[in-house]
Amino acid sequence: MPKAIIVGGGIGGLTAALSFHAFGWKVQVLERAAELGEIGAGIQISPNGMKVFRALGIEDEIAENAFQPEALEMRFGRSGNRIFQIPARQAIIERWGAPYLHLHRADLVASLTRLLHARQPNAVRLYAECERYENTADGVQVHLKSGETISGDLLVGADGIHSAIRTQMLGPERPDYTGNIAWRAVVPMDRLGDLAPPPTACVWVGEHRHAVTYRLRAGQLANFVGIVESESWASESWTEQGTKEEVLADFAGWHPIITNLIAKAETHFRWALFDRQPLTSWVDGRTVLLGDACHPTLPFQAQGAVMAIEDAYLLAKLCSDEADKLSSALKTYFETRQPRTSQVQAASRSNAKLFHKHTPISRAMTYGPMWLAGKIAPGAIRSQQDPFYAYDVREEPLR
């Protein structure tokens, strides 16, 4: 039985472990932290990601603590006036073949961890920090900082945006600051009273900033993400905290739903948003990258985690279909995935401009047609998501 070593116990790494196991591999997940988990925040899993979970036989378990939005909508941030609203839930399933879910990241990681343990107990190893890797004649070795060496047939670098595997493979990166910082907070719904955000996936647009609200954990929590243009930048850390006063100042004069949500949150995390250009390689011998390790994506298309989920399934499938010639499988994986993830990176980059129109004329020219389409041709709005949501990685042909 071939063995895949996966560095990183996040969403991409755990999905990769479940995928490789489903295709008959033994898996070992190496996570440097003391426990698997995510800082409290929401995540959107669109139909293209849910199709992977369906293929792995875990769709129902993943959906247990999720929230399905009633609609997809856009509003003006200050007035709250709706630009468009289109039905979601069953309408999404009918158009794209799977549900669209909002989940707490910690719930998703916990579910993936539990499901992996049920299928291969002790697959995850904590306190295991990778120092370097070494390709050998018939496999790969991972050298841990503890001094231990672990051998396998394939090494998957799923160790995130600051990937040590990518750094060894391609050298240090030089990301570009986008001029935006992001705020995020999660608040129990019972604290928000009559000013709870709507049961939708809602983008609130404004001058030099925008916000996103949606519900988590079967509707018990409200999730807030606020993006603000800023010449100065902080770190790219998900754990850095700002103050309530700073967020309220950034969204001063905005609709009470937004300011109430900010005011009722106990903690306000912030991070600077950096952009990366597509890499020219994800493969070195029997070592390969997936997810944020090779294509970090800005959050404006809500596809970053889903791209890692797609990566994981296709990589496992290709390596299993071509187990006797892994080099060919890895080449096909890169050639198949790199164009798609580059398309998503570009779309995410473009949406930052769409949500931050700075003048009345630009707002009228952009949002006026959206308002009209929402009234007379909602299918035109849905069609904008077809390239992302209609995609089914299970049907990806071998090249």
From the list 100, 133, 214, 391, the catalytic residue is: 214
- The rounded distance, in Å, linking the Cα atoms of 73 and 287 is 42
Whether 391 is a known active-site residue: answer no
Under 8 Å between Cβ of 130 and 168: no
- The rounded distance, in Å, linking the Cα atoms of 258 and 204 is 9
Calculate helix-pair angle for 304-321, 47-55, nearest 10 degrees.
40
Catalytic residues: 214
